[in-house]
Structure 1
Amino acid sequence: MTARTATPDNGIVRRERASTMVYLLDRMRRASTGPNTVTFLAPDGGRRVGWAELYGDARRVAAGLQSHGVGPGRPVAILADTSRQTITAAMATWLAGGSLTMAPTPARTVDLARYLADTRDRFDALGEPLVLVGAPWEDAVPALSGGAGRVIPLAEAVGDPPAAPWRPPLLTADAPAILQLTSGTTGAPKIARISHGNLAANVEGIRVATSHEAVHGRMLSWLPLSHDMGLIGGFILPMACGRCDALLSSPADYLARPASWMQLVSHHRATNTVGPGSAYAVAARLLRAGPRLDLSCLAYALCGGEPIDPAVVDDFLDAAGGHGFHPASFMPAYGLAEATVAVTFSAVGRGPRYDTVDADALAAGTTRFVPPDPAVRTRRLALLGEPIPGLSVRVVDPDSGRVLPERKVGEVQVRGTSVAAYHDDPDSAAALRARDGWLATGDLGYLTGGELVVCGRRKDVIILGGRNIYPEEVERAAARAEGARAGNTVAFGYPRPGQLGGEGLAVAVETRGADPAALRSAVTEEVRAALGVSPHVVLVLEPGSVPKTPSGKLQRAEARRRFAP
């Protein structure tokens, strides 16, 4: 995506070696000569609008944002559900030269006053943002006001006629395009500073890795725009193409009716979709119980955003196969906000593949492929593909920094054109330079045949008797206990002063009415049978108690803080 340094083209100034979002938006406008559209899906139907029309609206709104002081480097934060107004304001932010932050929307079980206070603090960490608040949270404008920035209704920003014409901003590839609030799964959330160059490089890498030109079509996403996979994979990728349709559904509508995901895929003949493993687990259950659909339209269904459980994938493929879905279309992937979004993709059309390893060897920090043998305790791990163009991946010893050979477990590191620094940590860019650009992801994994396998988070690993216990493995075992709510079980380590080894294993599990004593016993037995260790503590909780990020990831550090004995 090399942009020429030359004269303006319809007012668009192209600068530096990498494209800015202003250039990408104008390229989209010029490419969108056919009936390519964005459809804002809703339970009562949906609203369709062409990319070129959206661009025209966004340019008008960008002129208004510039009158509010938005220009290169000025952050704009949006708190609103997915809608035409929201997408228009996002595009307008880039056309005005600002950086975009999509705020996570509150979960149904969250304390709203606490959420608004925390959100205002996170907005303040952006600098002096212009905050746009839209439906259904317009009443939150007073609670979010009074911080470092200015807060106005989204409808006002989108609806007011501009006082002056739009001025093309002078941007470089290093200017911030997105200030991404990270999920905080293992600690305090941070802010990844995604530059225009990072974003353009990652979009190009995804385009090449997915052979995008060969599968122009229709992307359907219900993921929150506050999540990097929803914002970039579900919205920016088809937008940057200009020759694809995008179908955008509200995450609130999905949560109210999860069966709508696959029903919309079938009804609208979507060719691409994306979701976390937990959503595919729900889809499998609903596909078995629901009406016959036609999912043969999907060229690929990408799975990422959280650890991939092979049992969940098998279950989805079995259920979706009865609706015409081809197993080769399922695509496991790996990414993180600090690398913009995508890091590795499985090959298109290959389908999921797994590495079956000796579980005891894995606990000791190495891997050994084993054929099926009932006498050997094994763990099956998803192969996540090779790095997309522009990125490299390696595995290092987390203590010495020594690069490890294949099949040796260590910390996953990423380097390349999409790797970003932290906006709220000025030392992070210097630390990247000191490591020759290698970003420490905090994930543990290994390489095999050039493909990445992720085992878990380094901070989450629980050490019992010298063994590395991965919480994901504990959670999957505990979820098999009768009465446990699938996807709502969390495992974490906690200090046990005076005990040999010093660390204990705790499991917190939600239930709807199961006998607590019976459930504790069942969880203990399932974990012992699967891992050969027993939890020291099993906590039985009411629904909605297990802490999660807005995108649904388990927050083990927060669970430890709340529930540790």
Structure 2
Amino acid sequence: MNSVTTVPLEQPAALAATPTEDALPRRFSDFETLGEALDYAARGKRGLNFHDARGTLVRAYPFAELRTDALAQARRLIAAGVAPGDRIALIAETGAEFASLFFGVIYAGAWPVPLPLPTSFGGASSYIEQLRVQLASCDPRMLLYPVELAQMADEAARIAGVEGIDWESFTAREAPEAQLPEAGADDIAYLQYSSGSTRFPHGVAITHRSLLNNLAAHSHGMQLIESDRCVSWLPWYHDMGLVGCFLSVVANQVSTDYLKTEDFARRPLAWLDLISRNSGTSLSYSPTFGYDICARRMSSQTKASDRFDLSRWRVAGNGADMIRPDVMQSFVDAFGDAGFQAKAFLPSYGLAEATLAVSIMPPGEGIVVELVEETQLSGIAAGEDRPQRFRAIVNCGKPVRDMTVEIREEDGTPLPEKAIGKVWCKGPSVMTGYFRDPEATDACLVDGWLDTGDMGYMSDGYVYVVGRAKDMIIINGRNHWPQDIEWAVEQLPGFKAGDIAAFAITTPGGEETPAVLVQCRTSDDAERSRLRDAIRDRVRAVTGMNCVVELVPPRTLPRTSSGKLSRAKARNLYLTGEIKPYDIAA
């Protein structure tokens, strides 16, 4: 028998990610404009790295290549008649195409306006309407989008009277030489829509100066070091993803590994796989629900250390929603044996109207909790009709560099230490205002101070956030925080974070009462009836009040573009009959 020598086929060379460390001296966002920041970052070797759903690198995108592509996009935009100050709406899909177009718009002197991708809630018609409303608000010169969204995006653009073009077609255009405009620090850099802005959208106008001031404060607050590398699945149409994990890494020259948000939703542990593979130190942010999903997914696994190495995760940022200490503890319990250290948690507080960061916990201090007696939250005198109860409030850190925070009464009077009131902030990174909405601007900006709409208090120089003022349920003069009701129901077996929405409604008799919508997975009528009674008893124990309990199908409760539960939208959909509860016999 003759032997046959098999010659292996030549395998394509593995993609190499951009390096974590670089000879280019790091600058902490000390630039006049965002374009100048990319010009500098492009002199080094670092960049953006895009991964598929399994965490495999599919595109390494050095800042130098991003700059080259962005300059070409700028020339295409100028050739299309785009002028400084024009708005260019961009569907914010995580990838090189959006990145080059965003910076192309910056170089062309126009204002990029990132818009959301479709979510699982509401379907095509709901997404088209959301785009239409936001397009009407920002009045863009054109809408650019991924080709796979052409049908919905084109329809929204048609209704809004805006030119729509997929970015493959746009990038195929010629890029003739053109004189690029000179941007100034006080020019608007971009418009950012806050996550809940659907029916009445507010485009937050942020200048280059405000942006770079906040990005510098962010990097100083995290105490950025040479070995740091960012890992992110956060969407680029939300401030924490756009500003914190895209613009910040350019302006502070940090190599970053990305998963698309939808890929994280399908395979959340791929996020931790990326962190495990980082040979440097990791910076990675998530709202509470991201940590919660990962901890739950590990419940069927044996040991986290068999798969993950999280010992080099230096900054595990947490923000964008109320921080749950019980979830953070569950994450530590699930991943402690993989080297995750609780002191890596870095709580923070911010909002789009302040560009992003308002306060950041000093690295290494972890989750710090204060127990606040319920009477301080509800406004009732102590000792009345109920035993003392406490809520754990998470420390959200100290005001970032150049930011001042005050707690005020409703009439604007400053409050002393530990007194709960409205959170106001002032600093160079506060927005100039809402685009073409002076009334809404005047309602929240007073003498340079921003009314955040949140309630909280200060303690020893640290910021503690209690909740959103507009979500508060006020019945018979008592304040009830919806998250207290929601968290109480979550303690019952079979429920989890995101299953419950609490808000106030008016009964047919004209009385205000709490309503609790609960996503229910059982189809058994008797079990549903038992669950409803258990929920009602639980809420009565926490609030001392009867409430309306409605069980609804799974995946019914709406979320904002950043993944947070939207209580306001849930309430509206319930009152208009668009959320249909199960019919349960009394």
Q: Under a length normalisation based on structure 2, what TM-score does the superposition of the two structures give?
A: 0.86
Code of the residue aligned with 1:161 in structure 2: it is E
The letter of the residue matching 2:32 is S
With over 3 angstroms needed to count, the CA separation of the structure-2 counterparts of 1:429 and 1:300, relative to structure 1, is same
| Change in CA separation of 1:142 and 1:375 when aligned onto 2, cut-off 3 Å | closer
- Following superposition, the deviation at residue 140 of structure 1 comes to 2.8
Structure 1: segments with no counterpart, 5+ residues:
1-16, 368-373
Q: CA deviation at 1:438?
A: 0.8
**Deviation string for 1:298-344 (max 9, x for gaps)?**
11010000111111111112222121011111001100010011110
Pair 1:186–1:477, CA change in 2 (3 A): farther
Query: Matched residues in 2 for 1:355 and 1:563: separation?
Result: 35
**Structure 2 CA distance for partners of 1:333 and 1:185, relative to 1, 3 Å:** farther
Query: Residue in 1 aligned with 2:459?
Result: 448
Question: Which amino acid is 2:512 matched to?
Answer: E
1:479 CA drift (Å): 1.6
Alignment of 1:192-203 (within 5 A): 192-203=204-215
Shift of 1:174: 2.6
Assess if the C-alpha contact under 8 Å between 2:257 and 2:274 holds in 1. no
Counterpart code for 2:336: G
Quote the Cα distance in structure 2 between the aligned partners of 1:362 and 1:80.
38
Query: Given the alignment of the two structures, is residue 513 of structure 1 paired with residue 522 of structure 2, yes or no?
Result: yes
Counterparts of 2:134 and 2:486 in 1: how far apart (Å)? 31
SS at match of 1:547: coil
Following superposition, the deviation at residue 241 of structure 1 comes to: 1.9
Distance 1:535 1:223 in 2: 38
Aligned partner letter, 2:315: Y
The yes-or-no answer on 1:27 pairing with 2:40 is: yes
Provide the rounded CA distance (Å) in 2 between the counterparts of 1:390 and 1:358. 32
Q: 1:365 to 1:22 in 2, by over 3 A?
A: farther
Q: 2:373 aligns with which of 354, 358, 365?
A: 358
**Structure 1 residues 431 and 364 mapped into 2: Cα distance closer, same or farther (>3 Å)?**
closer
- 1:224-267 CA-to-partner distances (Å, cap 9, x unmatched) read 1001100111111111122x211111111111212221122112
1:211-222 equivalent positions in 2, closer than 5 A = 211-212=223-224, 214-222=225-233
Partner of 2:309: 294
The question of 1:388 aligning with 2:400 is answered yes
Q: CA deviation at 1:405?
A: 0.5
Pairs aligned (count) = 532
Alignment partner of 1:256 out of 261, 266, 270: 266
1:90: Cα distance to partner? 1.4
1:336 corresponding residue in structure 2: 351
| Aligned-pair CA distance for 1:484 | 2.8
Cα separation, partners in 2 of 1:522 and 1:318, compared to 1, 3 Å: same
Q: Given that residues 80 and 135 in structure 1 are in contact (C-alpha distance below 8 angstroms), is that contact kept between their aligned partners in structure 2?
A: no
Secondary structure of 2:117's aligned partner: coil
Asked if 1:313 is matched to 2:313, the reply is no
Question: How has the CA–CA distance of structure 1 residues 247 and 205 changed in structure 2, closer, same or farther, with 3 Å as cutoff?
Answer: same
Change (3 A) 1:174 1:304: same
Other-structure match for 2:512: 503
1:136 counterpart SS class: helix
Structure 1 residue 51: deviation in Å? 1.2
Q: Which residue in 1 is equivalent to 2:580?
A: none
* Aligned partner of 1:274 among 277, 282, 285: 285
Asked if 1 retains the 8 angstrom alpha-carbon contact of 2:424 and 2:451, the reply is: yes
Find the residue that maps to 1:137 and give its secondary structure. Answer: helix
Which region of structure 1 is more displaced relative to structure 2, 413-422 or 116-125? 116-125
**CA-to-aligned-CA distance 1:480-530 (integer Å, 9 cap, x gap):** 22333431210001124656xx4200100102126321221121233233x
Matched residue, 2:339: 324
SS of 2:338's partner is: coil
What does residue 348 of structure 1 align with?
Answer: 363
Distance 1:424 1:495, change over 3 A: farther
Residues 185 and 553 in structure 1, CA contact (< 8 A), matched pair in contact too: no
For 1:396, give the aligned amino acid.
R
In the alignment, the residues of structure 1 paired with residue 185 and residue 441 of structure 2 have an alpha-carbon distance, to the nearest angstrom, of 16
SS in 1 for 2:148: coil
Q: How does 1:11-22 map to 2 (within 5 A)?
A: 19-22=32-35
Matched to 2:335, the amino acid is A
Q: Secondary structure at the match of 1:193?
A: strand
CA change 1:99–1:310 in 2 (3 A) is same
Structure 2: segments with no counterpart, 5+ residues: 1-29, 578-586
Structure with max Cα Rg: 2
Amino acid aligned to 1:352: I
- Say whether residues 1:143 and 2:152 are aligned partners: no
1:51 equivalent to 2:63? Answer yes
1:545 alignment partner in structure 2: 556
Three-state SS of the structure 2 residue aligned to 1:57 is helix
Equivalent position SS for 1:88: helix
